[in-house]
Amino acid sequence: MRPIAIGSDEAGFQLKEELRRHLEASGYEVTDYGCHSTDPVDYPDVAIEVATAVAAGRHDRAVLICGTGIGMAIAANKVPGVYAANAHDPYSAARARMSNNAQVLSLGARVVGTELAKTLVDVWLKAEFAGGGSARKVAKIREAEGRLETGGPAAASDAAADKERAR
């Protein structure tokens, strides 16, 4: 496995440090994209840098941490080919990978404690994409992503209008 990427904003800094140490102690190589202190950082900058590295193939998996995990997931999901999921429980962390093929796990340092975060990361890293009925759904997401990427927001509006007219 390629190195695991990890990144956070200042709200997630302490949890990122704990998770980095946990991953390294578990035998994983980790690439830390910051932040490197509790000084304010805009989470989209970190999320997009990490997600771009995942999309480029430098990492198979990445963990992003902010206050809730929501903003990191939203920002990472803007990078074509990247699927980021926010999880607060082990079942959702496993399903993020097994059903949705998420390469990025986002966590909220203000809503998930350190020990639970370690469990979520461990469960997610052990999970693999199951394919099956989920493969068709993930393929639809990938197809829509490609269509919307080339057509932009207008294509999305046109596609939604076409679908509504078809009803």
With residue 106 as reference, give the H or E element that holds it: strand 104-108
50 within 8 A of 33, measured Cβ to Cβ: yes
Pick the catalytic residue: 54, 66, 102, 117?
Answer: 66
Q: Which residues are CB-contacts of 58 (< 8 A; sequence separation ≥ 6)?
A: 2, 3, 5, 31
Task: Say if CB 117 and CB 90 are below 8 A apart.
Answer: no
**Contact between residue 54 and residue 103 where contact means Cβ atoms under 8 Å apart:** yes
Q: Is 35 a catalytic residue?
A: no
Whole-number Å distance between alpha carbons of 106 and 114: 14
Residues 6+ apart with CB under 8 A from 62: 4, 5, 6, 7, 50, 51, 53, 54, 76, 103, 104, 105
For residue 7 the two structure tokens come to: 């990144």
- Just list the catalytic residues: 66
